[in-house]
Structure 1
Amino acid sequence: MTVAMVGGVSAAAQATAVASTGTTTVKSAAATCAYPYVCLFKNGAKIGQFKDVTSTWQNLPSRPSGPGLVVQNTRNDDVAHIRWASGTTACISPRSSFNVSGGTLTGIRISSAATC
């Protein structure tokens, strides 16, 4: 799995945003997030799902935070971007999961780009 960071990611942000491929949380998230959604899970429970490709950020009114937060991208050809309250962003490749171990998410954007 490839997870690319975009937009001036600080060392602190990199330490709190960790790609995950084999944890139980990621596996259970993948099992309950159907194509073509990008889903957010908190401690294994789905707290949101998005499917529209947008050119701007979709705000997350719940402002979820890690640890225990997983973003699952089930889309085959589209990347998903997530944004923290600090303005830091990360890109999640198609068919990948992202484990947010810290910080508060404020936005999501699904792009039709196939790679980060």
Structure 2
Amino acid sequence: MNSVMRKAANLAVVTGTVAAAAVAGAPAANAEPVQHGCAYPYVCFYVNRAAYNAGNPAAKFQVITSGFQGVTAREGYIVLNTRNDDVAYLRSNAGSLCVEPNTTTVMSPGLTINGVRISSASTC
């Protein structure tokens, strides 16, 4: 019984050491670049060009949903979709708009965005 417990303890130490080495020493595989403070796979909203240039998004969304998620209603958002294969639909006072994957869209004055729905569709 004593040798079984010793073997289990050794296995736990070896497993923990291997896991720690894998996390500490391994470079990130295929890490996506962060664009304007918005990492993959997010859809980010910026209040203006200064916030966009500074990489300071006002909101970030990641989850694919069947309905719209609320966004603080505002004119002039800049929207960055860092997702590779998913579109983002924006709910506005003018109806629904679509932002293609890996695209930045600047909203026109007078266009108020108040919701986002990320879809697994790859095109609008």
Q: TM-score range by the shorter chain?
A: 0.5 to 0.7
Higher normalized contact order (CA 8 Å, seq sep 6+, divided by chain length): 1
Give the 3-state SS of the residue equivalent to 2:58 in structure 1: strand
Q: Which has the higher strand share?
A: 1
Give the AA of the match of 2:38: C
Residue 31 of structure 1 and its aligned partner are, at CA, apart by 2.5
| Pair 1:99-2:98 in alignment | no
> Is 1:71 paired with 2:68?
no
Number of the residue aligned with 2:93? 85
Aligned to 1:42: 47
Q: Structure 2 length as normaliser, TM-score?
A: 0.63
Whichever of the two has the greater Rg, that structure is: 2
Normalized per residue, the structure richer in helix is 2
Q: CA RMSD in A?
A: 1.5
Aligned pairs, number: 84
- Report what 2:35 is aligned to: 30
Write the letter of the residue equivalent to 2:97.
Answer: A
SS at match of 2:74: coil
Percentage identity across paired residues of the two chains: 42
TM-score normalized by the length of structure 1:
0.67
After the TM superposition, list the runs of 4 or more consecutive aligned residues in structure 1 that deviate by more than 6 angstroms.
none
> What are the ranges of 5 or more consecutive residues in structure 2 without an aligned counterpart?
1-33
- Residue of structure 1 in register with 2:67 after alignment: 56
Deviations 1:24-46 (A, max 9, x none): xxxxx933110000000112231
